[in-house]
Structure 1
Amino acid sequence: MSEAKKKLFIMVTNGPENPELATIPFVMATSAQASDVEVVMGFQGNGSMLMIKGIAEHVAAKGFPTLVEMISLYADAGGKMYVCGPCVGARQVKEGELVDGAVIVGGATFVSECLDSTQSLIY
């Protein structure tokens, strides 16, 4: 009997105001993907700002690849990006303003993803 594939859920609450903590979750996510782990990322609070088109281009943490590069690597490897509906609503952001692949969801989706995951990380 084969072992079930591992799944990692990463919740991102830091936004462009903290480049290092905005970038590290993507470093962890792409590292997990390279290890054949399924990864789902959630974005709440200021973290939701990272999913707005044009924002990542202005976020750079010293010693790390650019955030826009990390988002692209993650998405190209099939990573899912779920964005908190009330968070983007409070910021008057519509789904069409989000990066390709980002989907607006509610709390139930986040809870379901956490429960279905082998492990969860919060940044």
Structure 2
Amino acid sequence: MSEKLVITLSSGPENPEKATLAYVMANAALAMDAEVLMVLQSNGVYTVTKGVYEHIKAPGHDPIKKHVENFLSNGGKFYVCIPCCQERDISQDQILEGCEMAKSGKAMKAILEAKTTLNY
């Protein structure tokens, strides 16, 4: 059984380096056969929002779009905060396919089951 890792990301376009580093770590963990769930809260929801995530890029790194696509294609999972999206007027159809909308209880259950958590 693989290790379970939960990464909580609350940064987005306002801090592209922080957001990117969360994805770098997530993709590295997937490459090491870990089971990885990213919980996107606050501005982190923008990293999977159509029309926004394509434009997030930190200097010296690949664009978030590439990191997100790698994460999804390699089996990574997302929980996207429902209240955070509602607060930002982001509808479910604006969120990338393959992302699951969730509230805190579902995210907390995953966090308690994980061996390791990272927060960005």
TM-score (norm 1): 0.94
Q: Secondary structure at the match of 1:41?
A: strand
1:15-34 aligned within 5 A: 15-34=12-31
The one of 92, 95, 100 equivalent to 2:92 is 95
**Mapped pair 1:121 → 2:118:** yes
Give the CA deviation at 1:73: 0.2
Larger CA Rg, structure 1 vs 2: 1
Deviation >3 Å, runs of 4+: none
The code of the aligned residue for 1:86 comes to P
Among candidates 107, 110, 116, match of residue 110 of structure 1: 107
What amino acid sits opposite 1:102 in the alignment? C
Give structure 1 stretches of 5+ with no counterpart.
none
The percentage of counterpart residues that share the same residue type is: 35
Taking the aligned partners of 1:36 and 1:78, their CA distance within structure 2 comes to 10
- Give the alignment partner of residue 54 of structure 1, picking from 51, 54, 61: 51
Rounded Cα–Cα distance in structure 2 between residues aligned with 1:36 and 1:49: 26
Q: For 1:57 and 1:63, how far apart are their aligned partners in 2?
A: 16
Q: Deviations over 1:19-46 (max 9, x none)?
A: 1011111100010000011100010011
Equivalent in 2, 10, 15 of residue 5 of structure 1: 2
Q: 2:68 aligns with which of 55, 60, 71?
A: 71
Residues 48, 68 of structure 2: 8 Å contact kept: no
Classify the secondary structure of the residue corresponding to 2:7: strand
Superposed CA RMSD:
0.9
Report the AA paired with residue 120 of structure 1: T
Please state how far the C-alpha of 1:63 moved relative to its aligned partner. Answer: 1.4
